[in-house]
Every structure is written in C-alpha cells, then in structure tokens.
Amino acid sequence: MLSRRALIAAAAAALAGTAGAGRPPLAAPYAFRFEWLEGGSRSLGSDAHVDLGALAANRASLRQRAIVTKRRVAVRIDGPGPSVRLSVALGAETPGCSVRVNGIALSTIPRMLDGAHRVGTAVVHQIEVSIPADVPAGPFLSNIQWLAESY
C-alpha cells in the first residue's frame, strides 16, 4: 500500500501529464505539509491525519438529522513556481456520508479547490464531515488526496 505522500505524488504526476502508459508515474516536484489547527493530530510532514474519535448524536445533530464535524487544516506546498492549481478528491467514499473542503463536496473525481495556491505559504482550508442520522453506526474511513499541478 502506498503512503499518503507517494499517493499524492503519483496523483499529482498523473494530473500534470507526466505519467506515461506502462511506466510508473514520475515523482512530483511538490512537497505537501499539513498542520491541523484544532482537533486531530499535528503533523509537520506529509502524513497528516485526523482522528475524530467516537461521534455521537446530540440534540443539535438530531435537529439537523446529521452529525457534522468541522476541522481546519493549514496546507503548505513547497516546490518550483509562485503558485499551483490545487485539487482534492476522496480516495474512497463512505456510503451515505459526505466530505467537503471549503464547502466543495468531494467524490473520487478531483475537484479544483484553489486555482492559484501560493507555493511556500500555508493556506488554511476547512474540512467538513457530515454523517446522516440514518447511517448505521460503524467506522468512518476516508482519505483526502491533495493534488498539485503547475501551470
């Protein structure tokens, strides 16, 4: 299984058109750094993760008919050039649940998050996870793939 860093590099290379048929993708010239601003684990490297712990319905979530959790993350991309296009996608979808970044609903198809993400500067993004009340209890496992493309 690829680490998140390898997965990000492979996806970024494929989006940039550097991956040829029959060859493994080339390493992208960009390095990602994530720092969770509240909740979750702090990471100075590229393997950021957040553990939401056990989520349970409360009065507010019963009125909304969903458990909604929001976390902010600072994303820094290092590499050549003044800015890159930043896209995000889900590695796998959890049935019935939704994940949004800056209000953009994610799926396994990459969506552009920022058309001019400044290189070398941390930019804050908000991640929102919504679990409807009718989704059965169990683990919620998902990963967000961050994709950088020069232009």
Q: What is the pLDDT of residues 12-40, one digit of tens each?
A: 333 333 333 444 444 458 999 888 787 65
Mean pLDDT value of segment 36-52: 59
Model confidence at 6, pLDDT cuts 50, 70, 90, reads very low
CA distance 145 to 108: 9
Q: Which pLDDT value is given to residue 95? A: 80
Q: Which pLDDT value is given to residue 16? A: 37
pTM for this entry: 0.69
Model confidence at 126, pLDDT cuts 50, 70, 90, reads very high
Q: Which pLDDT value is given to residue 124? A: 94
Q: Indicate the domain borders of the chain.
A: 31-149
Residue with the two structure tokens 């396994």: 108
In SS3 terms, the chain reads as CCCHHHHHHHHHHHHCCCCCCCCCCCCCCCEEEEEECCCCCCCCCCCCCCCCCCCCCCHHHHHHCEEEEEEEEEEEEECCCCEEEEEEEECCCCCCCEEEECCEECCCCCEEEEEEEECCCCEEEEEEEEEECCCCCCCCCCCEEEEEECC
> Does domain 31-149 correspond to CATH entry 2.60.40?
yes
CB-based burial label for 25 (10 Å; 0-12, 13-18, 19+): middle
CA distance 120 to 133: 40
